A and B are shown apart, each in its own frame.
Chain A
Amino acid sequence: QTIVPTQVKIGLINMLSETGLQVIEATSFVSPKWVPQMADHTEVMQGINKLPGVSYPVLTPNLKGFQAAVAAGAKEVSIFGAASELFTKKNINCSIEESLERFDEVMTAARAASIPVRGYVSCVLGCPYEGKISPAKVAEVSKKMYSMGCYEISLGDTIGIGTPGSMKEMLTAVMKEVPVGALAVHCHDTYGQALANILVALQMGVSVVDASVAGLGGCPYAQGASGNVATEDLVYMLNGLGIHTGVDLQKLMDTGTFICNALNRRTNSKVSQASCRL
């Protein structure tokens, strides 16, 4: 909830860059009227140390945002679709079809500038308004975004309502339309299911996982509930599975401590909670 000072954001991203993470989503080139927290997008983009070998994608909801992002030095952008009509209507006041048309402009400009575009699909395992979402719908939207030129599709369980059962069903449908090497999962831990859902995705061949240091980011649809899965807890699990990530867990935990102190809040990472007290 608190607006974070620009210097703290830059400090956070710089620390994350030192952990071995290969991709760090830096900011969003969206109007500050809609998302005041991201109002300093240009300063952040220009202020961070960009380590070689690390990508710093930014969100660009429209052509204007895209152009501002490129001007500020962005080398990769992301666009957001949804598998739910009602969610799209409530969020950006148009239909899924119309949202994809808007993104087409961004895609064309990105192609011309040789800028890779990542596509997000929200509500893949359930919608706060529509409830159940059919795997076929998720596959359809993912396919459209992939065909439009997104190099990767991140499938988001926006309200964390999914379980290994629904994750498996959804991925089975999507994998018919999009190669598994182009898929990522973005699981929320609102119902404590994130790591189990991620495990199932890994078992099905997915090898890109989104997570948030210290589990930053609550759920805007359930007051007080948690949102993003904590990167520390994810890395702990992957380490235990013998899966290579290149990430230094201790440095990651230190980064989590830094941002939690700056935000004057407790971490949402259980690994962090356990490790600091033994």
Chain B
Amino acid sequence: KESKTPGLPEYVKIVEVGPRDGLQNEKVIVPTDIKIELINRLSKTGLPAIEVTSFVSSKWVPQMADHKEVMRGIERYPGVQYPVLTPNLQGFHSAIASGATEVSVFGAASESFSKMNINCSIEESIDKFEEVVKAARNMNIPVRGYVSCALGCPYEGNITPTKVAEVSKRLYSMGCYEISLGDTIGVGTPGSMKRMLEAVMKEIPLNALAVHCHDTYGQALANILTAIQMGVAVVDSSVAGLGGCPYAKGATGNVATEDVIYMLNGLGISTGVNLYAVMETGNFICTALNKKTNSKVAQASFNIGPV
């Protein structure tokens, strides 16, 4: 283990989004028991938070149709959070009935993206989420807020940092305990990451911020490093880099948890996560999905030896 680089957080919390964001963007429909096995294995790696599923209509997201069974089927490890997505009040109630103890809502910093994705304006979407957040707060259920398109939008292109700060502030003021800023199409670079965070940090305390970087243009780790250098200490990632990009066919999406942990270990930053256990879990799910891992650390580690 390396000694800590001065100026960086001592600990970074990794939020594992593979079972939800990852699988949602994989083409193959994964059987319920495989999903449950994946989550149980992830629970044993030391990951502090694992996004389990999404309580959304199966008409929209067939991959998440088994949300109730998955939520009820997983083993809940003490000290591990199991958030689920709840896009509306109906989903929220269903999630609670299935045993969820933390939920997430998704906003966007782009009007076009909001319209195309959920067929309403940012303002209208926030009104919907307000219902969820109110209900959640009444039950002492923590809510995480996501802001999509924080560094660029597939329809609008450039997104102003001010807009991201505005939407983030709305979600935070409403009662979200944490705001995860998502580079949805992975177009961001350390330059745009810095500018966006500077704007958001004026409105939201650092310890309530997380970054959710996509690796579509290979920039994820550099962007995450920039965020960490600015004090962000919560990072979303996906085991084996599960989840392609729905906006660029064949391109990659989520950054691989293994590669993030490798970097954090090298920086002397504590995560509590066993890298090897994550690699093994990545191996499990890739075998089940019959696909190659998107993690370079996994590719390099399972193939050591002269050609």
Contact = CB atoms under 8 A, between A and B. Distances in A.
Interface in A141-172: 160, 162-166, 168
B266 interface: yes
Interface string A171-196: 00000000000000000011111011
Interface string A194-212: 0110111000000000000
A240 B191 contact: yes
B11 interface: no
B307 A191 contact: no
A199 B217 contact: no
Given A165-B2, A221-B304, A193 B250 contact: no
A10 B248 CA distance: 32
A242 interface: yes
A166 B2 contact: yes
Contacts of B252: 270, 273-274
Contacts, number: 130
A246 B162 CA distance: 31
Contact of B266 (A193, A230, A269): A193
Contacts of A225: 296, 299-300, 303
Interface residues of A, number: 42
Contacts of A76: none
Interface in B198-218: 215-218
B98 interface: no
Contact of A269 (B154, B218, B265): B218
Given A164-B267, A242-B191, A278 B262 contact: no
B59 interface: no
B294 to A, nearest CB: 9
Interface string A223-248: 11110001001001101111000000
Nearest to B151: A240
B5 A199 contact: no
A199 B250 contact: no
B274 to A, nearest CB: 17
Contact of B217 (A168, A193, A220, A274): A274
Contact of A277 (B217, B250, B259, B297): B250
B79 interface: no
Nearest to B296: A192
A15 interface: no
B192 A240 contact: yes
B304 A239 contact: no
B247 interface: yes
B299 A166 contact: no
A224 B217 contact: no
Nearest to A200: B225
Contacts of B215: 270
8 contacts: A165-B267, A192-B297, A196-B222, A237-B219, A237-B222, A269-B218, A270-B216, A273-B250
Interface of B: 2, 5, 154, 186, 188-192, 215-219, 221-222, 224-226, 245, 247-252, 256, 259, 262-263, 265-268, 295-297, 299-300, 303-307
9 closest Cβ pairs, A-B complex: A240-B189, A163-B266, A192-B296, A270-B218, A233-B218, A192-B259, A274-B251, A225-B300, A195-B222
